[in-house]
Amino acid sequence: MSEASKGNALVTGAGRGIGRAIALALAEGGFDLVVNDLARSAELDETVAMIRDKGREAVAVRADIADIDGHAAFLDAAWNAFGGLHCLVNNAGISVAKRDDILTVTPESFDRLMNVNLRGPFFLTQAVAQRMLEAPQDRFRSIITVSSINVGFVAVDRAEYCISKTGLAMMSRLYAVRLASAGINCYEVQPGVIRTDMTAVVRERYDRLFESGVAPIARWGETDDVGNAVAMLASGALPYTTGETLRVDGGLAIRRL
């Protein structure tokens, strides 16, 4: 852990998009970073370089979070990079391969989404929490899970995605209750419509929705909006909170008449 560090954070799915923005925001907040993505992610090295440009330490650990059998080696590398972890950000996730009717969802597509978006993060969080419980508490510690506005917004053309993200919301609250007595605070961040490669396929649709006033803040969310929210929670600025959900959605979830 480098001088004046807030601690060490592990961010999954940090090769680009929201994950990269989270890692950079944490670096700006004083964290040293272990960043993760799939082995084939060429962008991960770019994330490391960008973090180091901000004066923080960074190490890339390539692993598939859906591979539960590989979690031990993955976590060994992440934990030992700087001598422990103070923050885990469950960000890695995938969308449906094809947007289609709920009546045509296949078991293969369902299982793929659950393995990556829910099963992997659940058991990775379990493993990180076990190690945190065994380690001395020398910094504020947090586990932050990035879900989606689809926890509360139905999208019948992405049913398995919505279900996987809803599971993450409950997962975060469960771990919040279990870990509170150990001083490990857990949070869920729900991004709304964020400008990423994942949402590029529906750009025109959401452009029209924003023009029609679908959200009080009538614009696309940016990856930095999510990154800044995660960094605030990880900073320990809200120590008397856990199990909370922070929506980064421009007010989209506000019910209006």
Active-site residues, by number, are 161
Cα–chain-centroid distance for residue 208? Answer: 27
How far apart CA 94 and CA 106 sit, in angstroms, is: 16
Alpha helices in the chain (DSSP H): 17-28, 43-53, 71-82, 107-114, 120-134, 159-179, 203-211, 223-234
State the Cα torsion 129-133-134-136 to the nearest 10°: 120
How far apart CA 29 and CA 70 sit, in angstroms, is: 30
Structure tokens at 189: 């961040």
Cα–chain-centroid distance for residue 16? Answer: 12
Could you identify the residue written with the tokens 């605070």? 185
Measured in residues, the chain has a length of 257
What are 141's strand-pairing partners? 184
How far apart CA 91 and CA 11 sit, in angstroms, is: 7
How far apart CA 176 and CA 184 sit, in angstroms, is: 8
State the Cα torsion 130-132-134-136 to the nearest 10°: -170
